[in-house]
Structure 1
Amino acid sequence: MNIVENYIQGLKNTYYKNNGIEIWEHFENIKHGASKENIETLKNIYPQIPKALLDLLDYVDGTYWREYAGEEIAFFLLGSDVYGYPYYFLSSKEMIENQNQALKYYSDYIERKYDDIVVDDKITNTTKDFKWLHFSDCMNNGGTSQLFIDFTPSKKGQKGQIIRFLHDPDEFKVIANNFEEYLQNIIDTEYNFINEENIE
């Protein structure tokens, strides 16, 4: 199995262990993957988009209040380094629509215009040729935390590194060197964002 198959199997097992069998089975029965057109658009916008992210989109085209089979569902698929805090997976359409979101909202932070905002030194300090892929929002609709793939890091960083934005206090932190490592980190921490309280 590849990393995405391993991730999905482990996530399923974790839902089952936390009395989320009905939630998981409902999700699996109605979900569908992203369209070929949207995948090609993403590849054109982000030529270095990780295969693992595309594999995840092929499995499910987002879990953030997506309509599947005539029903709207919100399903926690991802986590971060913030213990016990679940995230939605954005759809391919949302990733395309949000391609300029980070630059629009966070350019002053990136350029280090505020001394009290913590920005990892693996993250660039210029918005020239800036390119982040926004792929996930936290459980409260992204207001507190978002996740990005960074294709334009600083010299200390790596292309494809995963950035976690956390609000109040605001912080930008690199939490993995690439998307596969990010998924593996969640596997290694046993999907700690899933518990009976936040999936009921």
Structure 2
Amino acid sequence: MCYFIHLNVHSHYSKGWGIPAIEELCQKAKALGMKKLALTDTNGLYGLIFFIQEARDTGIEPIVGSELAAGSHRALVLVKDRHGYANLCRIISALHCDQDFDLIQSIRDYRSGLIVISDDFRLLKALKRDGIDDLFVELSPRYQMARCYAFSRKTGIPPVATNRVYLGRRGQFCLHRILRAVALNTKLSSLGPNDTCQRHNYLASP
């Protein structure tokens, strides 16, 4: 039997975007019968220790990762082992400290022990030069999914499905919109479609 695993998940540690607390995410995953859950807050591992503790307390196997975004590039990066964790920490440190940070080059330099998932075609093409092991095209509903699937077929980079979770449950979308308006210092009525997540971006049952 195959089990769906949420690999793109943000908590309130994703400043200005994520709504749910880590406890809520772990408890919801357990209630849905999920065996594993990733936490991939943006550009950091801020809630990592608490996530590992909470996941284990609820019987969930934690998957460590982060969604890295710099300039026009983004990638979901998951840790395979201790070496991968060290490399992810190196990338995140450089992202925050290096004024000339290049996400593509940094991932190429420290890719060992990491799984990279992205819908950034330029990034994927660059990483493919080093091989497609642990490299995946991200397919997310309403995020250019058809184009991403076509790109996967054309390049031979395998696809993986995600839901880009920013909400613990569907009813948190209104709260998310308020958070985004505050983060952007704008009115709710001025929010554009790319300023928020989608209504379906909650921790849902497969």
Provide TM-score, normalisation by structure 1. Answer: 0.29
Provide TM-score, normalisation by structure 2. Answer: 0.28
